[in-house]
Amino acid sequence: MGIINSDWVLFRIIDTDNNKTLSEYCQTRGEKIISKQGISNKSLIENKLPKNYLIIESTPENFKIKTYCIILKGNIAENQIVLIKTITSNLSMLYLIFASDYYKNSRSKNKQLS
């Protein structure tokens, strides 16, 4: 929210194999309300959201998950979009790391050793 001048931001992580939401986070300014109407996973994947939304998606394309950042269009500079794209892609990587079986197994083994 400190990077752009927007009333709200929504991050959604989607499993592209089955179009299911894996995780979602939204933040608003003050008493603003986010309307998720029309923001379906299918519309995100097919890039068919209403024209007043800006969709920034994670890269690369070879993961089975995709992270989307959805904000209202406004006065957003190109360098802000580049920064948000980097953050969105990093969220995908962090989700993969912390949701992986390897991480979960190593965490449970460390708890058993304690």
Q: What was the pLDDT predicted at 51?
A: 84
The reported pLDDT for the residue numbered 105 is 62
Return the pLDDT at 1. Answer: 67
Average pLDDT, the chain: 83
Asked whether residue 48 carries a pLDDT value surpassing 60, the answer given is: yes
* Among the listed residues 25, 79, 70, the one whose alpha carbon sits nearest the alpha carbon of residue 51: 70
Residue 90 has pLDDT above 70, yes or no: yes
Q: State residue 74's pLDDT score.
A: 82
pTM: 0.81
- Reported as a pLDDT band with limits 50, 70 and 90, residue 69 is very high
Most confidently modeled range among 17-31, 37-51, 90-104: 17-31
Question: Which H or E run contains 53?
Answer: strand 53-57
The torsion region of residue 65 among left (phi > 0), alpha (psi -120 to 50) and beta comes to beta
Which tokens go with 13? 């992580």
